Chains A and B, each alone.
Chain A
Amino acid sequence: QVQLVQSGAEVKKPGASVKVSCKASGYTFTSYDINWVRQATGQGLEWMGWMNPNSGNTGHAQKFQGRVTMTRDTSISTAYMELSSLRSEDTAVYYCARAYGDYDYWGQGTLVTVSS
């Protein structure tokens, strides 16, 4: 069965970076985009960006310009999202999702807490 398993919770200081992983199984990793979505506590869903695991091509929402990097390691079917220059407003649960149009499978979420 299709699964996306994300790395565990992180606590970071302002200005630091965080790298979240998303390991895919149960399907051909390079056949579907991986997207990243975040959700602050009590808030809605916010699209961050996309990656094509086959080509490595990526794109992201304008608000994350210069701060987000999406990569992959096809040998282990894993996608990564790195967010730099963290601030308190980046405290949120970060999700990866398999995209084929919309999202049919999601990771379990990774809580990133930014606190001094």
Chain B
Amino acid sequence: DIQMTQSPSSLSASVGDRVTITCRASQGIRNDLAWYQQKPGKAPKRLIYAASSLQSGVPSRFSGSGSGTEFTLTISSLQPEDSATYYCLQHNNYPPITFGQGTRLEIK
């Protein structure tokens, strides 16, 4: 199975900061990657699909990039409501699906 390595596992940043989260795949997955935001007690919410396509209704400060084995989620100007845990998901060889381990983002 394809393994996804997500980093960092946690980070703390200030409002207005630029934040980057990375996922690396154990083998090439083209652009078969999505990013999700999860807040406590809630189901994950898709932010980005096909590595770089912004989900409708998601603020434009969120962006995704990458292809093959390395992918990045960027928040251009951090807002208080962005405090959450973020996950990547690969579906290149569905099934199975593989998730990254998650990144807990705290606002200072």
Contact = CB atoms under 8 A, between A and B. Distances in A.
Interface in B33-68: 33-34, 36, 43-46, 49-50
A61 B95 CA distance: 9
B44 A106 contact: yes
B44 A47 contact: no
Contacts of A47: 95-99
A46 B94 CA distance: 14
Given A45-B44, A102-B46, A50 B95 contact: yes
Interface in A92-116: 95, 99, 101-104, 106-109
A50 B97 CA distance: 9
B52 to A, nearest CB: 13
Contact of A49 (B36, B44, B50, B95): B95
A106 B37 CA distance: 12
Given A101-B32, A101-B91, A102-B91, A35 B101 contact: no
A44 B87 contact: yes
Which of B50, B89, B97, B102 has most chain A Cβ within 10 Å? B97
A15 interface: no
Given A47-B96, A61-B96, A102-B91, A108 B43 contact: yes
Interface residues of B, number: 22
A104 B57 CA distance: 13
A8 interface: no
A109 B89 contact: no
B43 A102 contact: no
Contacts of B43: 95, 106-109
A103 B87 contact: no
A59 interface: yes
A63 B34 CA distance: 24
20 contacts: A45-B44, A45-B89, A45-B99, A45-B102, A47-B99, A49-B95, A99-B91, A99-B94, A99-B97, A101-B34, A101-B49, A101-B91, A102-B33, A102-B34, A103-B97, A104-B49, A106-B44, A106-B45, A108-B43, A109-B43
